[in-house]
A and B are shown apart, each in its own frame.
Chain A
Amino acid sequence: MKKGIFLIGLSLLLLRCSPPKKKPLEVISFAKLQTIMEPKEDNTVYLYNFWATWCAPCVKELPHFDKVVRAYGDDIKMILVSQNEEKEFVEVQTYLDDNQYRADNYLLDKGNPNVWMPMLKEEWSGAIPMTIIRYGKKEFFHEGKMSEEFLRNEIDKLKKEYEN
């Protein structure tokens, strides 16, 4: 009897104390991406970055993007949208597993870019890396790489604008 209770207690404890399940890499449609990217009024900065494993400037900036996101803590949420092909899923997953960025990870089912790119951001000509930062109704968009300083400045600017 005592042993039983002990075992049950232990397993419950283990369950509760197991590390939170990280969301695995998910393939999503553009429609789903739009839903994910809908502006939210929740005092959270949403940092969306469009990247790919084969994109050198992309993988160069992700570590300092992650550093900034961790520094801002609960105030910011990063969403990484890979432009890799679906057949490269394992490669993308491996890269993400190796790097453990604090982000939600998606692989976009790209379909016809000419259809959805203007819907996502008309100004975007299609080069990656590309970053969109949203804070409530305010937005920052940048096509090209961003240094750590540039990123921090833009996040701070957005927060200041919003709070005024």
Chain B
Amino acid sequence: MKINLLGLAVVIILWVSCGETKNTEKQEESQTNSAEVIDGTIEPEAKLGYAIGDIAVDFLLKNTNDEMVSLASFPEASGYIVIFTCNQCPYSVAYEDRIIDLDKKYKALGYPVIAINPNDPEAEGGEGDDFESMKARAQEKGFTFPYLFDANQEIYPIYGATKTPHVFVLQNSEKGRVVKYIGGIDDSAREPEEVKEKYLENAINDLLAGKDIEMPETKALGCSIKTKD
């Protein structure tokens, strides 16, 4: 008889304590209300980097063949496909073959690719983006374009690159090298077979045809640029 009462007491205590946890959770779930128009504040962040129409600066950066390269190294070019990219980011890696193809197609038409690694190899997440690894990758893949090291991390903030890969198409004019396109390469980074929109090619084709670029800015996912801070 005593054991039964004790057992009953234990059961009741356990029952009640378990029940309480469940109730709190239920309350949380039932509190979702219908949406309201958002007029939230946006954390102001310094707006660095180029906008369409800006004149881009030249740079002098080391290539994987140890030579210094600048935009001026291409005196015959009508423009340049500047791509901030790196060794480690899965998005950059996924695009390597497509970048090689872009250079193959557009260098002959006056728009060579110039790749720049903006990462600090000594920063967290920057491992594998050091100059020696860049050399190895350029060799393995047979890059036909310069793969430059933004050693002091000075160029990418001026351009406003925030990730890899990040593309800036420049066009030569009397005013200078005008930024004509900013953004991604196409609409399917890691599934190349599913590409439907080749944003970058469309933009360059528009330039070559003397037309305004239909979509001068596109969005794409990528890896943040690695800095020590």
A71 on the interface (CB 8 Å rule)? Answer: no
B73 on the interface (CB 8 Å rule)? Answer: no
**Chain B window 31-59, contacts with chain A (Cβ cutoff 8 Å), 1 for yes, 0 for no:** 11111111111110100000000000000
Kindly provide the distance from the CB of A120 to the nearest chain B CB, expressed in whole angstroms.
9
A32 on the interface (CB 8 Å rule)? Answer: no
Tell whether, in the assembled complex, residue B219 and residue A113 are in contact, meaning their CB atoms are under 8 Å apart: yes
> Number of contacting residues on B, CB 8 A?
49
- Known contacts A17-B18, A40-B33, A138-B41; decide if A127 and B28 are in contact (CB<8 Å): no
Which residues from chain B contact A77 at a C-beta distance below 8 Å? 28
Tell whether, in the assembled complex, residue B187 and residue A57 are in contact, meaning their CB atoms are under 8 Å apart: no
Which residues from chain B contact A113 at a C-beta distance below 8 Å? 184, 187, 189, 219-221
Specify the chain B residue showing the minimal Cβ separation from A12.
Answer: B15
Tell whether, in the assembled complex, residue A9 and residue B11 are in contact, meaning their CB atoms are under 8 Å apart: yes
B71 on the interface (CB 8 Å rule)? Answer: no
Which residues from chain A contact B188 at a C-beta distance below 8 Å? 112
Tell whether, in the assembled complex, residue B43 and residue A117 are in contact, meaning their CB atoms are under 8 Å apart: no
Within 8 A of B (CB), among A104-129: 110, 112-115, 117-118, 123-129
Which residues from chain B contact A20 at a C-beta distance below 8 Å? 21-22, 25
Specify the chain A residue showing the minimal Cβ separation from B38.
Answer: A39
Q: Which of A83, A115, A125 contacts B162 (CB 8 A)?
A: A125
Which residues from chain A contact B28 at a C-beta distance below 8 Å? 44, 74, 77
- Known contacts A13-B11, A42-B32, A44-B31; decide if A125 and B219 are in contact (CB<8 Å): yes
Q: Which of B125, B162, B218 contacts A143 (CB 8 A)?
A: B162
A28 on the interface (CB 8 Å rule)? Answer: no
Within 8 A of B (CB), among A129-143: 129, 134, 137-143
Tell whether, in the assembled complex, residue B124 and residue A56 are in contact, meaning their CB atoms are under 8 Å apart: yes
Which residues from chain A contact B166 at a C-beta distance below 8 Å? 125
Tell whether, in the assembled complex, residue A139 and residue B41 are in contact, meaning their CB atoms are under 8 Å apart: yes
Interface size for chain A: under 10, 10 to 19, 20 to 34, or 35 or more residues?
Answer: 35 or more
Q: How far is the CA of A112 from the CA of B34 in the complex (A)?
A: 28
Q: How far is the CA of A51 from the CA of B190 in the complex (A)?
A: 16
Tell whether, in the assembled complex, residue B42 and residue A141 are in contact, meaning their CB atoms are under 8 Å apart: yes
- Known contacts A9-B11, A127-B163; decide if A42 and B41 are in contact (CB<8 Å): no
A3 on the interface (CB 8 Å rule)? Answer: no
Tell whether, in the assembled complex, residue A112 and residue B162 are in contact, meaning their CB atoms are under 8 Å apart: no
B90 on the interface (CB 8 Å rule)? Answer: yes
Kindly provide the distance from the CB of A11 to the nearest chain B CB, expressed in whole angstroms.
12
Which residues from chain A contact B32 at a C-beta distance below 8 Å? 40, 42
Q: Which of A57, A85, A115, A141 contacts B224 (CB 8 A)?
A: A57
Q: Which of A16, A44, A83 contacts B15 (CB 8 A)?
A: A16
Kindly provide the distance from the CB of A58 to the nearest chain B CB, expressed in whole angstroms.
9
Which residues from chain A contact B175 at a C-beta distance below 8 Å? none
Within 8 A of A (CB), among B194-229: 196-197, 199, 218-226
Tell whether, in the assembled complex, residue B197 and residue A112 are in contact, meaning their CB atoms are under 8 Å apart: yes
Which residues from chain B contact A127 at a C-beta distance below 8 Å? 162-163, 221-225
Given A41-B33, A112-B197, 19 additional A-B pairs, CB 8 A: A13-B11, A13-B15, A20-B21, A20-B22, A42-B32, A44-B28, A56-B124, A56-B226, A110-B221, A114-B187, A114-B218, A115-B187, A117-B221, A126-B184, A126-B220, A137-B40, A139-B41, A143-B45, A145-B224
Between A and B, 5 residue pairs with Cβ closer than 8 Å are A40-B31, A114-B187, A126-B221, A141-B43, A143-B162
9 nearest A-B pairs in the assembled complex, by CB-CB distance: A139-B40, A56-B125, A38-B35, A127-B163, A117-B219, A17-B18, A127-B224, A112-B187, A125-B162
